[in-house]
Amino acid sequence: MFTAEVKYSKRPGASYAKYGNFVTTGLIFFTMPVQTERSVNHFGIEVANSITWQGWEPGGEYTQQIVLKNVQIKTKKLHYKSPSSRFFTTLYPKPIVLSSGTSFTLPVTFRPLEKGHYEDCIEFETNEGIFSVPMKAVLPKADIAVPESLKFNMCAVKDCVQVVFQITNTSELVTNFHWKVLEPFSIVPESGTLSPQTSCNIKATFSPKAALVYEGTAVCSYSAEQKVPFTKHVRLEGIGKFPHLVASISRQTKNTPSTEFTTKDELDLNFGEVPVQTTAVKWIELHNFSPVNAPYQVLQPSSTFNMDMVFSCSHYHGVVPAESTIKLKVSFTPQNPGFHSVDYLEVIALGATNCSVIKCTGIGKGPEVVLDCDYLDMGVVESGKFSAKSFKVVNNSDVPAAFQFMIDCNQSVFKLETTCGLLPGKGSQVIILRFSPTNPINYYRRLTCLVQNQDPLYVDLFGTCHTEQVKPAVLQKKHLDRYHIHVRRGFSKISPEQLNEDLRTNKLQLDEEGTLMALEHNTSSRELLPSVHELSPMEEFFCHASVGETTAIVPHVSLDVHHTDFGQLLDPKAVEQKTVNITNHTKGKITCMWMKDTKGIFSVSPDEADILPLKTASFRVTFRPNAANQFFSADLECYAFYKSMRDYRLVEDTTLCPPWCLSLSATGHTFAMGTETFIPRSQWDVKQLVFPATTVDGMSYRTLLLSNNGQNPIHFAFDDDPSG
C-alpha cells in the first residue's frame, strides 16, 4: 500500500486556512486520490511497478511515496537518479542501504504547470542490475465497466427472456451512456447518466420472431462531455424455438382423475344440465412439451358480439413453464332455462403453429313448478261467511324456485294464507284459499302465480255470493268453458239478453256442447277471434288488464291506469284524491262494483256504478292515511259484469257470463320533509338481465327476483325505457 501526501507553498498575498493537518490556499486546489499500484520484485527489492497522479490541477504540488523493501536475507545497496524532467522532483540522490526485511520511503513531488500528459521515471541501480519505476500524471478520463457477453439461452418464439446486468462508472467523471442494439434484442434504459464510482442495473430482453440462432452486439457509447465518445461492446447470444402446446380435458373419475387426449382439432367440453343462475366448473389442461416457456392466449370470439357470456375461463393469458402442465378452469353459468348454449374457446400458444379449439356446450336447467289444479270452485257462500279449499304448488325439478301469487289478500275476496315462498328442489307447499264475499254477485278471478326462471302459472278462482234478498245464478266451471268459446266466436261482448233474443229468433243456434254458434251459412265467413287461452303463459300475463293489455285482444272492460301513486302526503290527517276511468267495451250495460278496503286507507267512490255500452265512467280514489312516517299500498279489486247477471231470474244457463276482475294498485306515504324513509335492504337475483334472441317483431321474456331482506316495507318503481 502506498500513501500520498500533499505539500504546499505559501505565496505572498494568498489567503489560506488550516483544517487539521491540511492547509489550503485560495490559489491551489488540493485533491489527490491515492493510486494503488501492483508491486513487483527487482533483484530482491519489492517496489511498485509504477506511480500515477490523478485528479491534479496546474499550479499545485502533489507528492507520492516510493517504498523500497528488501525481501532477501542479505543487505542491499542501491543508488538512484533524479527524474529527468523538472515537473517531477525527489530527494538529492544518495546511497540507500537496506537490511533484510527493511524498507525505505522515497518521496516524489509532482508540480504541473498546465493540463497535459506527464511521464518520467526514477532509475535504481543495485549490484545485480538496474531497474526503473515509471511515473506518469494523467488527466481524468471517462471509463465504464460492462460484461463481455450475455447469453439468453433458449426462448419461445414471440416470448421474451430478460437478463439484468450492471454498468459501472469506474472513472472520476460524470459519464453519460447510450446503448444501440438491433432486434430481436433490446435494452432498457437505453441511455442515462452515472455519477463517479456508481453503477446501475440494465435490463436486456431477447424476443425472437423466428426459430433461429441469434447473435448480436450491443454497442455502449459513453462520454464525459468530450466531442468524440468512447464505445464498448457486449456480445449477445440467444436461440429462438417454437413452443409445442397441447390442450386436453381433465375428467374426474370415481377413483382418480384422468386426462383425455385427442387427435381431433376440436375438444368437446360438455357440462350437461346445469341449474340456472348457478355455476358449474370443469378443467382443461395445457401441456407444454417443449424445453422453453410457452406463453398462451385463450380467445373467445363470441365475446365481441354476445351479450350473455355464459361460459368463461379463469385465465385468458399466461405462461406454461417448460415441460410442464397447468390447469385452466372453465365455468358455465346459464341464465335461461331450457336453452342450449354453445361457445368456443381457442387456445393459442404465441409463436406456435398449432391451435386447440374447445367446444363448450351446456343446457340451462330451470325449475318445473306446477299447480295440482287448474281451477277452484268455491261454490255458493252466504254474505259474511267463507268457504275454504286448498291446492298444492309442486316443484318437480331439483332446482329451487321462488314463487309469488299476484294478489293482495287484504283487499280481495279470495284470500291465500301464503302468497310467496321458496320451493326447494322436489319440494311442494300447500296453499289454503278462503273465499269470503260480502256483495251478492258472481266472482271470477284468473289468479297468476309468477315463478322464478319459469313461465307463469294460472288458476281460475270463482264462486257465488247469496243473500236472502239477492240470489244471482250460480257460476260453474261449464259456464267458464262456454264463455271462452263465446269469446272466440265473438259473442262475449253482446249482452246476454240480446243473445237470448237472437237464439229465440233463430239468428243463433247451439252446437252439440250447448254453446252459441252462428247459423251454418254464416259460419264459413265468420273468423274466430283470438282468446287469452290461446296465448303462451308469458303473453297472457302481459295481456292481463293489471299489467297492460296488448292490441291483439281488445278487453271487455278496462282501466285507464293500473297504478295510482299518491306520493307524499305531508299532513297525515289530510285527504288526497285521484280519478280513474273504467271503459265498457261491450254492447251491453254493465255494473262495476268495488270491493271495500278493510283498513279504510284507500276508498273508491262511487263504490258501485252502471256503465252504458261503449261508454266510460269516472271513479274517485281517496287516500286517507291513519299514521305518520309510513308506507301505504293496496290492490283495489273491482268486479264488472252485465247488469242482468245480478238476478238468476234474468239469466239463461246458456248465456251466463262470468264477471271481469279489474285491479288498481294504489300507493302513498306520509314521511315528513327531511325525514328519512326506511333504508331499503333489497337484492336482485341477477346483476344483468339478458333476453334470449328473438326474431323481428317477436318477443322474449325473463323473470327478475327482487328480495326484501329487511324488516320494513320498501317502495320500488321501474322507470320507463327512454329508448322506447
In the predicted structure, residue 268 carries a pLDDT above the cut 70: yes
Higher pLDDT, 691 or 240: 240
Which string of DSSP letters, residue by residue, matches 301-341?
Answer: GGGGT-S---EEES-SEEEEPTT-EEEEEEEE---STT-EE
**Structure confidence at residue 37 (pLDDT):** 62
In the predicted structure, residue 223 carries a pLDDT above the cut 50: yes
In the predicted structure, residue 88 carries a pLDDT above the cut 80: yes
Q: What is the pLDDT of residues 554-586, one digit of tens each?
A: 889 999 998 999 988 887 778 899 999 999 999
Q: What is the pLDDT of residues 431-472, one digit of tens each?
A: 999 999 999 999 999 999 999 999 999 999 999 999 988 999
Please name which of 561, 560, 580, 557 lies closest in space to residue 658, comparing C-alpha atoms.
Answer: 557
Q: What is the pLDDT of residues 65-77, one digit of tens each?
A: 889 888 888 888 8
**Structure confidence at residue 526 (pLDDT):** 53
Cis bond upstream, residue 189 (ω within 30): yes
Q: What is the pLDDT of residues 135-182, one digit of tens each?
A: 898 887 888 999 999 999 999 888 889 999 999 998 888 899 999 999
**Where is average pLDDT lowest: 94-108, 190-204, 397-411, 533-547?**
533-547
Greatest mean pLDDT among 167-171, 253-257, 352-356 lies in 167-171
Shared-domain flag, residues 231 and 288: no
575 belongs to a structural domain: yes
- The domain total for the chain is 5
- pLDDT level of residue 282 (50, 70, 90 thresholds): very high
Q: What is the pLDDT of residues 285-316, one digit of tens each?
A: 999 888 988 888 899 888 777 667 889 999 88
**Structure confidence at residue 32 (pLDDT):** 46
Shared-domain flag, residues 215 and 286: no
Spatial CB neighbours of 563, under 8 Å, sequence gap ≥ 6: 664, 665, 666, 667
695 belongs to a structural domain: no
Within a 10 A sphere around the Cβ of 100, how many other Cβ atoms? 12
- Rounded-to-integer distance, Cα 706 and Cα 721, Å: 19
| Coil, helix or strand at residue 349 | strand
Shared-domain flag, residues 253 and 353: yes
**DSSP label at residue 718:** P
Longest dimension (CA), the chain: 163
Within a 10 A sphere around the Cβ of 124, how many other Cβ atoms? 22
**Structure confidence at residue 547 (pLDDT):** 53
Shared-domain flag, residues 163 and 73: no
**Where is average pLDDT lowest: 279-283, 665-669, 690-694?**
690-694
What is the domain range of residue 77?
39-137
Strand (E) or helix (H) holding 130: strand 130-137
Computed over every residue of the chain, the mean pLDDT equals: 85
Report percent pLDDT > 70 for the chain. Answer: 89
Shared-domain flag, residues 635 and 551: yes
Q: Half-sphere exposure of 165 toward its Cβ, with a 13 Å CA cutoff?
A: 17
705 belongs to a structural domain: no
Please name which of 171, 170, 165, 160 lies closest in space to residue 148, comparing C-alpha atoms.
Answer: 165
Q: What is the pLDDT of residues 171-203, one digit of tens each?
A: 888 899 999 999 999 999 999 999 988 999 999
- pLDDT level of residue 265 (50, 70, 90 thresholds): low
Q: What is the pLDDT of residues 499-520, one digit of tens each?
A: 998 888 988 888 888 888 888 6
- pLDDT level of residue 31 (50, 70, 90 thresholds): very low
- Rounded-to-integer distance, Cα 548 and Cα 542, Å: 6
Shared-domain flag, residues 581 and 460: no
pTM above 0.95, yes or no: no
CATH number at residue 452: 2.60.40.10
**Structure confidence at residue 404 (pLDDT):** 95
710 belongs to a structural domain: no
- pLDDT level of residue 22 (50, 70, 90 thresholds): very low
- Rounded-to-integer distance, Cα 100 and Cα 75, Å: 6
277 belongs to a structural domain: yes
Higher pLDDT, 172 or 3: 172
- Rounded-to-integer distance, Cα 58 and Cα 11, Å: 15
14 belongs to a structural domain: no
* Among candidate residues 241, 256, 290, the one where a domain is terminated: 241
| The amino acid at 698 | G
Mean pLDDT of 596-625: 92
Shared-domain flag, residues 467 and 379: yes
* Among candidate residues 460, 485, 518, the one where a domain is terminated: 518
Mean pLDDT of 335-361: 86
Q: Residue written as cell 271495500?
A: 596
Shared-domain flag, residues 130 and 173: no
Shared-domain flag, residues 514 and 546: no
10 belongs to a structural domain: no
485 belongs to a structural domain: yes
**Structure confidence at residue 26 (pLDDT):** 35
β-strand 213-223 against 199-206: which pairing, if any? Answer: unpaired
Please name which of 603, 557, 591, 611 lies closest in space to residue 472, comparing C-alpha atoms.
Answer: 591
Shared-domain flag, residues 161 and 85: no
- Rounded-to-integer distance, Cα 387 and Cα 91, Å: 136
- Rounded-to-integer distance, Cα 426 and Cα 186, Å: 65
**Structure confidence at residue 518 (pLDDT):** 86
* Among candidate residues 332, 365, 398, the one where a domain is terminated: 365
**Structure confidence at residue 13 (pLDDT):** 37
**Structure confidence at residue 460 (pLDDT):** 95
Shared-domain flag, residues 386 and 262: no
**Structure confidence at residue 55 (pLDDT):** 79
| Coil, helix or strand at residue 3 | coil
Shared-domain flag, residues 120 and 175: no
In the predicted structure, residue 10 carries a pLDDT above the cut 60: no
- pLDDT level of residue 239 (50, 70, 90 thresholds): very high
